[in-house]
Amino acid sequence: MAVTGLKVSRRAVLSRAGALVVSFALAPSLAAAAARSSGEAADRSLPGSLRSTPLLDSWLRIDAGGITVFTGKAELGQGIKTALIQVAAEELAVQPQAITLVTADTARTPDEGYTAGSLSMEDSGTAIMNAAAQAREIMIALASERLHQPRRDLTAGQGAVIAPGGRRIAYADLVSDRTLHVRAEPRSPLGNPAHRRVMGRSWPRVDIPAKVFGERAFVQDLRLAGMVHARVVRPPSYGARLRSVESAPILRLPGVLHVVRNGSYLAVVARREYQAVVAMEALSRAARWEESANLPQQSRLFADFLEWPSREVPVATRGRPPDLRRLHAATMLEAEYRRGYLMHGSIGPSCAVAHFDQGALTVWTQTQGVFPLRRALAELIGLPESRVRCIQVEGAGCYGHNGADDAAADAALIAEQVPGRPVRVQWMRADEHKWEPYGSAMLARVRGALDEAGRIVWWEYRVWSNTHSTRPGGAGELMPAWYLERPLSPPAPRPLPLPAGGGDRNALPLYRIPSLKVDYRFVPRMPLRVSALRSLGAHLNVFAIESFMDELARAARLDPVEFRLRHLDDPRAVAVIRAAAERFGWREYRRLAGGGKGFAFARYKNLAAYLAIAVEVSVDHGGPMPRVLRVVAAVDSGEAVNPDGIRNQIEGGIIQALSWTLLESVRFDRTRITSRDWASYPILRFSAAPHSVEVVVLNRPGQPFLGTGEAAQGPAAAALANAVADATGLRLRDLPLSGDRIKGAMRS
Amino acid sequence: MIALILNGRSVEVDDEPRTPLLYVLRDTLELNGAKFGCGLGQCGACTVLVDGAPVFSCVVPVGDLAGRRITTVEGLGTRQRPGALQQAFIEEQAAQCGYCTAGMILRAQALLERNASPTDEQIRSALEPNLCRCGTHIRIVRAVRRAARERQRAAADGVSRLGGAG
């Protein structure tokens, strides 16, 4: 790109980039349009997302150009593209390289809502697997007619239907425009799970090479012809209002094209990126804000949570409470577990590019949901949805609802002010830290009783939290809209419905307990902005349940693994526990000075992946925090399409959960968020990463996909606390389990 | 005009001297490898090499770099001829979102150039300035170890052929 001795011409390079973009903006797929306009109600008899998008050619197109598969799900660094390609290749009997995958784009792909909840394999993987199998059978039927051969004699392979004797017809020669424009059938002739060729193998991720060679891989890397750069001057605190700003001097700064002011919404547009940063800093200095001290006192937060009005959501009631007076005091335990607000903490601040041209808006965005975002942006800008297109392009890992949608709203609001010019907006680090919606603070109280044989006979559990999703929705859930001259407000927060739940996700233990009561206290008042963070309430609930299981096991004088197994009936739960314990060497483990081991188990959402984990720690009494030496996990995600992809996600989930659990809690004073960078909100670095993390994948060929991405968060947190308790005798119930807390607990 | 030696080639840029190198690389020279992460030198997503040493390009003014050798991940190899670390990161599948990857690779490159066979502790210590939020740490360390092995093997082959190690 850079030529010796020549000045690089920006314009020349930009026009090259522009040429690339044209191919990016293909006409909408007819099939996707047809499926949407059909307006049919969801057909519950169909598998996965075929329910809402039943036409086969919404998922799959075959022509002389090759095989194209469409998914409404987004690559977020979880490897979904590779897994979906494998699923399609398996059922179409082709090599993965033969498939082009198109991900979330409102003009081209099915509407599969959000890429969230570890549902992409269940929704999209299942849909693509069934659509591909049905397409294959349609092509075999067509070939049967053409070749005058019975269907049973024909096989599909390498992009063709093959007859005995070697006669073959390529898929592209069998399929015409309308061939796959048919509704899916409820049942599909799925391939035999015993003869997988592509699924079940650790196919290398298709997105990794571009990332190691510095190719265009992220929304941050988009460069459109004529693109300009914007930065937003965010208010200093949630409730701040812009009193005044002198923008004339800013307009005289080099490269500055435009200052956007709309109520308390303030942004600047410049020709070059760093010019936008300099202008944003100057504009920020020029702005006068009115703030108010309306945040709670952080040290009182949990007391406030208990005092603030809450709505009771019953989760489960089983049996009737035993006569507690007849139980021995030693067999009755109670405990309280707490976590503060947690940040998603994406390494790359949120970014989007928007182009407002001739009354139509195109937004390239790292959103998890192009269709919901399109609805919200259409409302925000006042355009019909048909005039808005959202195209998902990867950003840095998001781990839930971070600033991605808000950055798209920023880009749209600013692009509307400079029509005809693509606008790239990237947040600064403090924007992301202070404005992303956090994972809610949570508090859980549990009581449990054991009988003489060490069986749990009574369990009472109550958990408090804010909502765990404020995703759009509508424009009112886009944070920039709160500061416009005519501001929009988010709707009243709601608890998420069971069985998946939000704050009550995984609040019900999977253990056999004859008498139990579980409920959720939904706290509508949310002083800090909150939304979906990887695993929602399951992190704290599993941390609490699995810590408490260890406390009960200790009271029962039983080994924690044995204690869990005695209370479980589900053979797949038992299998992951045995696999993790065995690979870890649970029984053989010999404790060294300061060392300890901890165990935990959960089935995510009580209906998805099973995960058991064993952790070995070393706690140096003078040291700042426990050192995680070794982690072994076993996971059952149903049929494993890409075992290494599953291992990668579980390893990552474990390490991220260790970071949350050891180190993290958003700090704030009465007015502002004070966690504004990686110094004031530290996360795990290499020195604190475990020495080893091993993940055993229990593959279940032929079983439904159960998803993977969030399964480790709760169990990793609990196993760590259990290991610290084993090493020190100290039971830590408040997160983060940072060094100060451990030292404090040791002193007391 | 500021003259730089970027990935072995001379380039001249017309950015303001105080512009951090990161913006020059991304916006003026249109390279993707170095990423904006914090702008504060806290996360390492922007790591590049200047005269072989890792720097946070988000905080180094380009005006200080006239005549200096700058290496970005684009300069370490291509799909056709991948660098040892690039190849090792692919083989170990040492990425999730991959946003931190280029910075990790460059910091590891600097390490391997001064220590051909680092221990795991030395690898971790060298990578400490760089953050990964996806939790890919174990794989990244494994990839650096693999690259070190491959580089040593290549060097040994080169010596036996009386050629350079490239």
Q: Which residues contact B121 (CB under 8 A, 6 or more apart)?
A: none
Per-residue pLDDT at A24: 28
Residues in chain A: 748
Q: What is the ipTM of this complex?
A: 0.96
Q: Give chain B positions within 8 Å (CB) of A13.
A: 30
Residue of B nearest to A254 (CA): B16
Q: Looking at domain A26-210, which CATH architecture does it have?
A: 2-Layer Sandwich (3.30)
What span, in angstroms and rounded, lies between the C-alpha atoms of A24 and A130? 28
**Partner residue facing B97 (CB), from A76, A658, A677:** A76
Question: Quick check: A696 and A632 in contact, CB under 8 A?
Answer: yes
Q: Give chain B positions within 8 Å (CB) of A80.
A: none
Separation in Å, CA of A596 to nearest CA in chain B: 21
Closest C-alpha among A379, A422, A428 to residue A403: A428
**Partner residue facing B36 (CB), from A5, A349, A644:** A349
Res A20 pLDDT > 60: no
Residue of B nearest to A215 (CA): B32
Q: Which CATH number fits domain B84-160: 3.40.50.720, 1.10.150.120, 1.10.560.10, 3.10.20.30?
A: 1.10.150.120
Interchain proximity A2–B26, CB inside 8 Å: no
- Percent of chain A at pLDDT > 70 equals 93
CATH code, A219-291+344-435 = 3.30.365.10
Q: Which of B24, B107, B133 to mutate to test the interface with A (most CBs of A within 10 A)?
A: B133
Question: Quick check: A127 and A59 in contact, CB under 8 A?
Answer: yes
Per-residue pLDDT at A325: 72
- Percent of chain B at pLDDT > 90 equals 93
The mean pLDDT of B43-67, rounded to a whole number, is: 98
Residue with tokens 């998922």: A59
Res A696 pLDDT > 60: yes
Residue of B nearest to A693 (CA): B138
* Number of other CB atoms surrounding residue B6 within 10 Å: 25
Question: Quick check: A341 and A666 in contact, CB under 8 A?
Answer: yes
Residue B154: pLDDT band with limits 50, 70, 90: very high
The mean pLDDT of A571-576, rounded to a whole number, is: 98
- Starting at the edge strand found earlier in the chain, the sheet holding A228-233 runs A256-262, A265-270, A228-233, A423-426, A351-357, A360-365, A388-392
Q: Which of A203, A223, A678, A686 to mutate to test the interface with B (most CBs of B within 10 A)?
A: A686
Q: At what angle do helices A643-663 and B137-160 cross, to 10 degrees?
A: 120
Per-residue pLDDT at A11: 33
The mean pLDDT of B67-79, rounded to a whole number, is: 98
Per domain, the residue ranges of chain B are 2-75, 84-160
Task: Tokens for A623, please give them.
Answer: 């040291």
Q: Looking at domain B2-75, which CATH architecture does it have?
A: Roll (3.10)
CATH code, A308-341+438-468+503-747 = 3.30.365.10
Res A602 pLDDT > 70: yes
Whether residue B74 lies within 8 A of chain A, CB to CB, comes out as yes
The mean pLDDT of B3-13, rounded to a whole number, is: 98
Residue A25: pLDDT band with limits 50, 70, 90: very low
Whether residue B35 lies within 8 A of chain A, CB to CB, comes out as yes
What span, in angstroms and rounded, lies between the C-alpha atoms of A214 and A224? 18
Interchain proximity A8–B29, CB inside 8 Å: yes
CATH 3.30.365.10 domain span(s) along chain A = 26-210, 219-291+344-435, 308-341+438-468+503-747
Measured at the alpha carbon of residue A77, what is the angle toward residues B113 and A655, in degrees to the nearest 5?
70
Average the pLDDT over each of A240-244, A618-622, B148-152 and give the range with the smallest value.
A618-622
pLDDT digits (tens, 9 = 90+) for A622-644: 666 899 999 999 999 999 999 99
Average the pLDDT over each of A188-192, A322-326, A407-411 and give the range with the smallest value.
A322-326
Residue of B nearest to A2 (CA): B11
Q: Give chain A positions within 8 Å (CB) of B132.
A: 347
